[in-house]
Amino acid sequence: MASTSDPQNELRFDKELFRKELQRLVDDHSLDNLFDARVAHLLDESQGEGEADWRSMRAEYRLPTLKHAGVPGGSDEPAIYLCGNSLGPMTKRTELYVQQELDAWGQKAVLGHWDHPHGRPWTRCEERIGRIMSDMVGAKPSEVIVMSTLTANLHSMLATFYRPGKQLPQSGWSAQASPSVCANYKRRTKILYEAKAFPSDQYALASAVALAGEDPKAALVPLHAPSGSDTISTEDILRALEVHGDEVSMIMLGGLQYITGQLFDLPRITRRAHELGILAGFDLAHAFANVPLALHDWDVDFAVWCTYKYGSSGPGGIAGAFVHERWGDIGMRTHLDRPGAYEGAEGLLRPAGWWGHEKSTRFSMPNSFRSMKGAAGWQLSNPSALDAAALLGSLETLAQVVKGQDVGGVEWADKIESIEGTTAIGKGQIMPRLRPSKRKCGSSPPQTRANAARC
């Protein structure tokens, strides 16, 4: 079910409003000025009902010291770390889990794939992470997979969904897209994207278009901010969808623009794209673990993200991907061992690898591929257990804000997975607590957007 909420309105940061709210704290507590360190302490202590306990959460991380940060004459006091948009700090649980994996490797060697001293067998090391991650992006567990790296995952999605001249299975399309609109697939060669998208996305788009036999100069349509503005309005994006209409195969945007910090209105963009027979995919590198998302309810076709920024999985950590169940339920098969088969492959074609093969027969090493259901069917190779452990430690640290239930547990996952029809999945349990849309600061009156600066 598509949500009507506007993420831009919910999380837009109003600089002037925030300054006034901080000034109220200064006045209420007779502080010296806005830069008084006690302002930060008051913000930490202003935990609202159901929100994260910021002070105790900070203690879960190892932060660089002033000395290690290169501050002249710096002490062993923790530095103020404001670079989470590039690399998140390490959690103490991550340090523990990675050391446990090294110990398990030394103790068990190959047996650790099934017999793990800490109950995290390597053949299943991505499963708990995926369940927590699905909560953080507002999706069913089967729609999310932990694998590879962001750009590699983007290539897999583009190879699957950008296929000019080829018709994708009708059953995968959103109910908002009429069959007559989707049938006009032979003309759909263009991809709309941000003119200032992260370079790796632009390289991936250009190469994917060229590999599909199209000219990137003709097929890639950049969306520019209007003169005098740093941002692209939702109306401008919708207008571009209308203008290029039935020539567009997909729109591919960043969920949160990495230069300007603009949070795109993903539900409105997705909804209109589908009405025009256009697929909607997003790079959530700067949105994952930063803002609440509802990918399932918004009907997004696919999304990819890294986890080493706000997800604190470590340099170059393992990434994530989302494929809506509409597409994930279709599956793919190859028939190399069936000479009489009409075709050698069927279903929703995609890059395939042995870890995406159905789990029940994976280790019998069949010649033909039969994909797992859901996003797991896009896996290529087995994930690095060390990378998985690093990410698990971080996500479990964030998940502690949810009291009284294990959002990474099988029981909770089964409950979410069983939701059918138009019932909303929502934005999960973790992110709304980390990024509440309304909160109080200190003893001031109820606030509206101050949480947007609490990164």
For CA atoms 112, 114, 117, 120, give the dihedral sign: positive
> Which residue did the predictor score with more confidence, 447 or 39?
39
pLDDT given at position 177 = 76
CA distance 442 to 44: 9
The average pLDDT across 145-167 equals 96
Global pTM reads: 0.90
Which pLDDT band holds residue 51 (cuts at 50, 70, 90)?
low
- Domain 125-385 carries which CATH code? 3.40.640.10
The residue type of 60 is: E
Say if residue 455's pLDDT is above 50. no
With a pLDDT cut of 90, the percent of the chain lying above it is: 72
**Integer distance in angstroms from the first to the last C-alpha of the chain?**
30
Q: Which helix (H) or strand (E) holds 200?
A: helix 199-211
Say if residue 437's pLDDT is above 80. no
Which pLDDT band holds residue 431 (cuts at 50, 70, 90)?
very high
> Which residue did the predictor score with more confidence, 42 or 363?
363
How confident is the model over 258-271, as pLDDT tens digits?
999 999 999 999 99
Question: Any idea how long the chain is?
Answer: 455
Which pLDDT band holds residue 452 (cuts at 50, 70, 90)?
very low
Say if residue 18's pLDDT is above 70. yes
pLDDT given at position 441 = 42
Contact 401, 431 (CB under 8 A): no
pLDDT given at position 49 = 63
Say if residue 14's pLDDT is above 80. no
CA distance 274 to 394: 35
Q: Domain spans of the chain?
A: 14-44, 52-82, 125-385
DSSP class of 124: G
pLDDT given at position 121 = 97
pLDDT given at position 173 = 86
pLDDT given at position 209 = 98
How confident is the model over 345-384, as pLDDT tens digits?
999 999 999 999 999 999 999 999 999 999 999 999 999 9
How confident is the model over 317-348, as pLDDT tens digits?
999 999 999 999 999 999 987 776 557 899 99
CA distance 427 to 432: 7
Which pLDDT band holds residue 181 (cuts at 50, 70, 90)?
low
How confident is the model over 85-98, as pLDDT tens digits?
999 999 999 999 99
pLDDT mean across residues, the chain = 89
For CA atoms 264, 270, 276, 279, give the dihedral sign: positive
CA distance 121 to 118: 8
With a pLDDT cut of 70, the percent of the chain lying above it is: 89
Contact 447, 25 (CB under 8 A): no
Contact 104, 263 (CB under 8 A): no
pLDDT given at position 295 = 98
Q: Which residue has the tokens 């910090």?
A: 261
